[in-house]
A and B are shown apart, each in its own frame.
Chain A
């Protein structure tokens, strides 16, 4: 198992390196620069700024200088928030985004698995069609539409929940979490339905029934573990999607998370900020993909014994 994890981590190094390189040259290829603001800046001032941030050096030298900093875990100063480093900004926004993502994932798993398992027990009946139709709507509905709709209904007409903010008023975390989690709940529901249907048709489920097990025990003990492996494997890629989705949701609900800094940085051509966030998030995505792969393998005894055989 250890060998598997180590080899996956080693594979991640070139992936992240390519991400850094591509982002570095792409943002600089985009028209405009960090100090091309609308108000006129004196040429001397601009030159001084560029010198301070090493923008006057040839491109390849900037690149190697950045890599050298990065190797020490230093993401550089932000161009647009003078006096603050990218590291500081990332770690101030991270807890908020992480909390939002965690709630969304929780909602996705609880609602999705429940609906999926429920639907799989009576396939092609109303018990299946209703949750699966809802799931289809959930997948099709973009968060920038669902968010404002939820705000309109629960915030403005019914006045049950606050319409924006994060942690300021009780209950203001509910709508953003639902907005972000809804689509994933829908995916999870479809995956767990398919997984459960596959497992429920296996011969060993018939064996369990022939032993006289009550139906709930057949489902929970014999079917669920195998049926949810596709869901676990999906969590890694889902994590990347959640991050991308959080940028939209944070903007809709005015939440001071990573996403908003990221989007603003792109508009401002805040090179170090864009790069720092990209590097950080891509590392997280690689890590979470690895975690979900390991978890899915761990749930399968056959793969588990192969891994422990390999690490000997």
Chain B
């Protein structure tokens, strides 16, 4: 029996540049007591469809052009805003993508948790609090009594997502809509949250509509998968049918984009380009006596032309290690030797020259590009700063860089916001390559991107690496990505390297329990890919 039956839903966005149809006649069912997953890349209309059902798309510019959505004997799309409000948070609840931004930073967690109870059921604060504490306990928050009066910033992303889940379930809804609930989380946390959602769904017998761009994520939990592309449903089926017998070419493309397998051929033993000895980077927070030992006595070497993967969950110190090598974080102790020079002692002009030979690519291509600079300006800056070329040769150099990273030359005068996430990461890679570096630290360069885009960027990095004889330290929390790109891998945990070795060895015969747990949390690990 279906809990929610959406038929022929059409949504468009009316802007000054014309009307854009985001959802073009979409139909799907969410069965009672089952998990239905909608899969598609960003821009495929999967989130818009679900927001439209609850009247949560901003209007204008959003507009529902037609269709029906039957839920509990009512057509959601025909309800007034007031009637819809009574359903939101009571019968249908939502969890969102980014738990860091979805909780109000100005209100305590408790205050936000009890709101749905107070509004829909008119409970007193005290009664609502009792219920909220129970539920916090159920979603796995330790000491829920104290949590109740804390503010969101005191919690990690995973914990906040647990709070969001508790908040969604507090009124015992019949349908839970989860919009990419694990995309912003680490793999290990992702596995926990997925398990939590699956467990809660079973215990409560509710219907779940799970939106994701990642087929691997939903493989283990979904009962039914709906694949969307460009505002249309292209394929619907059980996970078994989708994974083993995909009909539509787009579904096959999504399947192929799941990172798997290791790189072919590895760099032969070359000289050591970068040698790190007993590196320690400690931070002392104001008012605290014990320093945070982000990097605590790490030693390793990177050979010229090698891609070294550095893996660990957030907080393991992997980003700080990358930054310490670049001298972007102050090193407490130890040495970093680059091509025979100790870089920890460099100052002024020498440091600047050294920075030319080492570049960094950051995680978030939305935040790391200056929004007020065109692509041309972004690429021209390092070229001129390091005197790579004269002003007269500038246009030629920039055009070459655009070609290298696979961007059309026509885009050169555009600003970052006019590009997609994948294109921006290409710009960021172009900026890093501009100084003709020998060594690149790539700090989670693909974790903010869709899987299909992710695969393209990884291939681009590999191609460019070969072409320019780059040595790379590739930092990621995603074991699957590391396996795809790296020659050797270091596993970092609490500031220390717990395991190191060639990719094949670490993946096939992990020695440390921590590495084993990282490998086990790769989504879709149960599937034979």
Interface size on A, residues (CB 8 A): 27
Which single residue of chain B is at the shortest CB-CB distance from A122?
B60
CB pair A211 B101 closer than 8 Å: no
Residues from chain A with a CB closer than 8 A to the CB of B62 are none
Residues of B111-170 contacting chain A, CB below 8 A: 115-116, 119-120, 151, 153-154, 164, 167
Interface SS of A by simple majority: helix
The answer to whether A207 touches B104 (Cβ under 8 A) is yes
* A residues less than 8 Å from B101 (CB atoms): 202-204
B151 touches A207 (CB 8 A): no
Question: Is B73 interfacial (CB-CB < 8 Å)?
Answer: no
Known: A211-B119, A226-B106. 11 other contacts (CB 8 A): A204-B102, A209-B88, A210-B93, A211-B88, A211-B167, A212-B87, A213-B85, A222-B107, A226-B105, A302-B105, A306-B286
Q: Does B103 sit within 8 A of A, measured CB to CB? A: yes
Is B153 in contact with A301, judged by CB distance below 8 angstroms?
yes
**In the complex, what's the smallest C-beta–C-beta distance from B283 to chain A, in angstroms?**
14
Provide the bound-state CA to CA distance between A221 and B87, in Å.
Answer: 21
Residues from chain B with Cβ under 8 Å of A309 in the complex: 285-288
Would you call B56 and A206 a contact (CB within 8 A)?
Answer: yes
What B residues does A211 contact at CB under 8 A?
A: 88-89, 93, 115-116, 119, 167
Chain A 213-248 per-residue mask, 1 if CB under 8 angstroms from chain B, else 0:
110010001100110000000000000000000000
Q: What 1/0 flags go to A252-284 for Cβ under 8 Å of B?
A: 000000000000000000000000000000000
Complex: A302 Cα to B286 Cα, angstroms:
15
Q: Does A121 contact B (CB under 8 A)?
A: no
Choose among A204, A212, A300 the residue that contacts B103 (Cβ–Cβ < 8 A). Answer: A204
Q: Is B90 an interface residue (CB 8 A)?
A: yes
In the bound complex, residues from chain A placing their C-beta under 8 Å from that of B153 are: 301-302, 305
B492 within 8 A of partner (CB): no
- In the complex, A213 Cα to B94 Cα: how many Å? 13
A312 to B287, CA, bound (A): 7
Tell me if B104 and A310 are in contact (CB < 8 A). no
Tell me, in angstroms, the Cα distance from A299 to B120 when the chains sit together: 28
Contact indicator B105/A210 (Cβ below 8 Å): no
Interface size class of B (residues with CB under 8 A): 20 to 34
Give chain B nearest CB distance to A206 CB in angstroms. 6
Query: Which residues of chain A come closer than 8 Å to B354, judged between CB atoms?
Result: none
Q: Is the CB of A299 within 8 A of B106?
A: yes
List A contacts of B120 (CB < 8 A): 212
How many angstroms from the CA of A300 to the CA of B107 in the assembled complex?
A: 10
Q: Which of B93, B96, B286 contacts A203 (CB 8 A)?
A: B96
B98 in the interface, Cβ–Cβ < 8 Å? yes
B466 interface contact, C-beta 8 A? no
- Note all chain A residues with C-beta closer than 8 A to B105: 204, 226, 300-302
A48-96 with Cβ < 8 A to chain B: none
Tell me if B54 is interfacial: C-beta within 8 Å of chain A: yes
B86 at the interface (CB under 8 A from A): yes
Encode B264-286 as 1/0 by CB contact (under 8 A) with A.
00000000000000000000011
Given A203-B98, A309-B287, A310-B286, A210 and B88 contact (CB-CB distance below 8 Å): yes
Q: A210-B89, A211-B89, A309-B287 are in contact. Are A203 and B102 (CB under 8 A)?
A: yes
A16 at the interface (CB under 8 A from B): no
Binding site for B on A (CB under 8 A): 202-204, 206-214, 217, 221-222, 225-226, 299-302, 305-306, 309-312
Residues of B within 8 A of A312 (CB): 287
Please report the C-alpha to C-alpha distance between residue A212 and residue B94 in the assembled complex, in whole angstroms.
11
Query: In the complex, which residues of chain A have a beta carbon less than 8 angstroms from the beta carbon of B154?
Result: 305
The reply to whether A305 and B151 contact each other, CB–CB distance below 8 Å, is yes
Which of B103, B104, B151 is A302 in contact with, Cβ under 8 Å?
A: B151
Is the CB–CB distance between A214 and B85 below 8 Å? yes
Known: A203-B98, A206-B56, A212-B116. A300 touches B89 (CB 8 A): no
The CA-CA distance from A311 to B286 in the complex, in Å, is 10
Q: Which residues of A contact B106 (CB under 8 A)?
A: 222, 225-226, 299-301
Q: Among B87, B104, B164, which residue has its beta carbon within 8 angstroms of that of A222?
A: B104
**B56 A212 Cβ-Cβ under 8 A:** no
B119–A310 touching, CB < 8 Å: no
Contact yes or no, A209 B167, CB < 8 A: no
Q: How far is the CB of A61 from chain B (nearest CB, A)?
A: 45
The answer for the CA separation of A306 and B154 in the assembled complex, in Å, is 11
Complex interface: chain B residues within 8 A of A203 (CB) = 96, 98, 101-102
| Choice from B85, B96, B104, B151 contacting A212 with Cβ under 8 Å | B85
Given the complex, which residues of A lie within 8 Å of B87, measured CB to CB?
A: 212
8 Å CB contact of A213 from B96, B115, B151, B286:
B115
User: Is the CB–CB distance between B56 and A209 below 8 Å?
Assistant: yes
A222 to B112, CA, bound (A): 10
One of A207, A208, A209, A212 near B90 (C-beta < 8 A) = A212
B89 touches A310 (CB 8 A): no
CA distance A301 to B101 in the complex (A): 15
CA distance A309 to B286 in the complex (A): 8
B289 vs chain A, min Cβ distance (A): 11
In the complex, which residues 54-113 of chain B have their Cβ closer than 8 Å to any Cβ of chain A? 54, 56, 85-90, 93-94, 96, 98, 101-107
| A204 contacts across to B, CB distance below 8 A | 101-105
16 A-B residue contacts at CB 8 Å? A203-B98, A203-B102, A206-B102, A208-B104, A209-B56, A210-B56, A210-B88, A210-B89, A211-B93, A212-B86, A214-B119, A300-B105, A302-B105, A306-B286, A309-B285, A309-B288
